[in-house]
Amino acid sequence: MRRSHGGRPQFLAHCEAVTTRALILAGGGLAGIAWETGILRGIADEAPDTARTLLDSDVLVGTSAGSTVAAQISSTMPLDELYERQIAPSSSELDPGVDIDSIAELFLSAMAEPGALQAKLRRIGAVAAATPTVAEPVRRRVIEARLPSHDWPQRDLRITAIDIATGELAVFDRASGVSLVDAVAASCAVPGAWPPVTIGGRRYMDGGVSSSVHTAVAADCDTAVVLVPAGEFAPAAFGAGTASEIADFSARTFAVYADEAALAAFGPNPLDPVCRVPSATAGREQGRRVAAAVTEFLGPASGR
């Protein structure tokens, strides 16, 4: 069974015993961080046990904005406090001073050139490395301020990034020998907005460049809830798109896509800090609306 909210419910006659659960948190800028936090908070309003089940998922997969949320919810900071941080009028976030159309143009230019996916990702990486941005240490301090803990949690947290020199996907976890702050900074290094992150002599950019969700990173899981701060049929730079990737995922999957109210709340630029409060508020409202459906999907697991 696969279902999506924010789009049409989808049912497949495919139900299996759940042994390993994943919570997959997609990319989407500051709007995505706020919305995903709001979704979880809204579910907690209506179905506290279900929210607890999501927070206690066996595997957390975070890409870009989702890496921030995954790291935050795996800390000891309560969900309600994480939500309050999103609706606070001020934050340590910086405005990159670029609009989303400029970043989209970077992707389109890479796609227009011939070559395989990794070659296109390398081209994007080269532009990311050459684009003037704030210095790496300045950006790192922003990520440090986002994270309640700078230590990897004692659980299965997987964070995605792209090696700009090879175009290959990197998946960081607590066994990688990489600091949590650097892993999240790498995953959130939007090309053209923020500098690639140097780790062990290599440089990495936003994991969401090649996929917003990277469901394959959770291939060992039997069931997954996916939070996607975008419309169900939003276009993707590469591949058939997020909805198609989720539909093709082997696990039982429930996807929550941003609904129309949330998309309106995101505004024209999801990287602009002013989007945080409306995005979090819209996420909480949508979370309340989808709580019953998420509870039904998780079944008995949501009560344990």
287: amino acid identity, one letter: G
Contact 166, 152 (CB under 8 A): no
200 burial (CB, 10 Å; 0-12 / 13-18 / 19+) is exposed
DSSP per-residue string spanning 218-258: GTT-SEEEEEESS-TT---SSSS-HHHHHHH-SSEEEEEE-
Question: pLDDT digit string (tens) for 189-214?
Answer: 999 999 999 999 999 999 999 999 99
pLDDT confidence of residue 301: 65
Q: Is the pLDDT of residue 220 over 50?
A: yes
pLDDT confidence of residue 19: 59
Rounded percentage of the chain residues whose pLDDT exceeds 90: 81
User: Going by C-beta distance under 8 Å and a sequence separation of 6 or more, which residues neighbour residue 253?
Assistant: 2, 215, 223, 224, 225, 226, 246, 247
User: Going by C-beta distance under 8 Å and a sequence separation of 6 or more, which residues neighbour residue 249?
Assistant: 215, 216, 218, 224
Between these two residues, 303 and 26, which has the higher pLDDT value? 26
Contact 266, 275 (CB under 8 A): yes
Q: Is the pLDDT of residue 24 over 50?
A: yes
Total residue count of the chain as it appears in this document: 304
- The mean-pLDDT minimum among 180-184, 206-210, 234-238 falls in 234-238
pLDDT confidence of residue 4: 41
pLDDT confidence band for 7 (50 / 70 / 90): very low
pLDDT confidence of residue 302: 66
Mean pLDDT of 262-281: 97
231 burial (CB, 10 Å; 0-12 / 13-18 / 19+) is middle
pLDDT confidence band for 3 (50 / 70 / 90): very low
Question: pLDDT digit string (tens) for 261-270?
Answer: 999 999 999 9
CATH number of 21-97+123-298: 3.40.1090
Rounded percentage of the chain residues whose pLDDT exceeds 70: 92
In the chain, the N- to C-terminal Cα span, in Å, equals 21
Task: State how far the alpha carbon of 171 is from the alpha carbons of 63, 127, 267, 288, in Å.
Answer: 10, 22, 30, 32
Positions marked catalytic? 64, 206
The number of C-alpha atoms within 13 Å of 81 and in the hemisphere containing its C-beta is 9
pLDDT confidence of residue 195: 98
Mean pLDDT of the chain: 91
pLDDT confidence band for 107 (50 / 70 / 90): confident
| SS3 state of residue 182 | helix
**Spatial separation of the C-alpha atoms in residues 278 and 259, rounded to whole Å:** 13
Is the whole model's pTM more than 0.85, yes or no?
Answer: yes
Q: What single-letter DSSP state applies at residue 196?
A: P
**Spatial separation of the C-alpha atoms in residues 61 and 83, rounded to whole Å:** 20
Mean pLDDT of 152-167: 98
**How do beta strands 156-163 and 169-172 pair?**
antiparallel
